[in-house]
Amino acid sequence: MKNQESEPDKNEIEFEADNVIVTGGAGFIGSHLVERLLETEKTKENINMYVIDNLHTGSLNNLKKVKNKINFIYGNAGETKNLNIKTNIIFHLGIYSSSPMYKENPELCSVVIKDFINLLEFARRNDAKVVFSSSSSIYNLLEPPHSEDMHIIPTDYYTEARYFMERLGELYNKLYGVDVVALRLFSVYGPNELYKKEYANLVSQFLWSILKDKEIIIFGDGKQKRDFIYVDDVVRAFLLAATKKSNSKIFNVGTGISYEINEMLKILEKVIGKKARVRYVENKIKNYVYKTLADTAKAEKELNFKAKIPLELGIRKLVEHYKNMHEFAGEGI
């Protein structure tokens, strides 16, 4: 049965720090993380929040609620090397985050690795912990459920870059004792994806299309499956990874439940109260990811992390978000 627990209490995790760095903090997931950190009771009065972002798929509009509480630095994540502050925690999400980006420009591999080395060197000097976003896409061609101990064989530039980052993190840990944790994120959806445009999650893209009465293109028969996880759950995973003591360095962040694309679309139609216009086309992508399903046992045991927002609740929250947005005013939701 596809069921999860109810929505979590936002105050269940307390995070203590003075200076916190979030790369990609104006992006989709990063902006939610920044807001969550700044609303936590123990940190909201004294935290110095440094956000580094090149605004490639992000926007300062994502941070409008907290714009007066952050120190914003425009640039790639490697700008950490120029910071003259002391910190004990760095959240690294400022990483080009979609396979088509790398296919169009393979040099992005070298960009993200260079940025990561600069960030790791900064963490080494500060004796700081690093928690960064890896991807479930590295499990492509492996049969689900996907567990952290699987043998990874990268299938494109994007997954090679993320897997290389994981290996670099392990190397810095072995050589210098830098605490680096990689979170393999599954299919994350939620508010603040507008600036990702065509790189946004399918849940958001389908929702926008339905609201604007645009045709939805589905590659294949729509029976491919995704482990969809709401952004609030992902933020909680980042905070737990930053605060929990563990010898492990790689964790899956998913729900442990997969939905067909067609099933997800039916839930969207139900919540919005409007039928989608759908066209199915042949899937010619050679390295297409057909199934994702997180084995969540390790994260549950060592981080005490379990996703708590079921897909329909997450979609309802997302639809409610767009009800209040000017761009979607009058769209009948």
Specify the pLDDT at position 5: 47
Measured CA to CA, the distance from residue 218 to residue 98 in angstroms comes to 18
77 near 119, Cβ under 8 Å?
yes
Who contacts 24 (Cβ-Cβ below 8 Å, separation ≥6)?
30, 52, 53, 58, 77, 92, 93, 94, 95, 133
Which of 23-32, 146-155, 317-326 has the weakest average pLDDT? 317-326
Better-scored residue on pLDDT, 268 or 322? 268
Measured CA to CA, the distance from residue 54 to residue 74 in angstroms comes to 5
Domains of the chain are: 19-189+229-256+291-308 (3.40.50.720)
Q: Give catalytic residues, as residue numbers.
A: 158
Tokens found for residue 214: 């645009």
Specify the pLDDT at position 206: 97
Q: Does pLDDT of 44 surpass 70?
A: no
Better-scored residue on pLDDT, 5 or 151? 151
Work out the angle at residue 170's Cα, subtended by the Cα atoms of residues 292 and 77, and round it to the nearest 5 degrees: 80
Which of the four pLDDT bands, split at 50, 70 and 90, describes residue 42? Answer: low
Looking from the CA of 157 toward its CB, the CA atoms found within 13 Å total: 18
What percentage of the chain carries pLDDT values higher than 90?
Answer: 84
Start-to-end CA span in the chain (Å): 29
Q: Does pLDDT of 197 surpass 50?
A: yes
Specify the pLDDT at position 1: 40
What pLDDT digit, counting tens, does each position of 210-234 carry? 999 999 999 999 999 999 999 999 9
Q: Does pLDDT of 251 surpass 50?
A: yes
Measured CA to CA, the distance from residue 275 to residue 209 in angstroms comes to 11
Q: Does pLDDT of 321 surpass 80?
A: yes
Q: Which of the 8 DSSP states describes residue 62?
A: G
What pTM was estimated for this model as a whole? 0.93
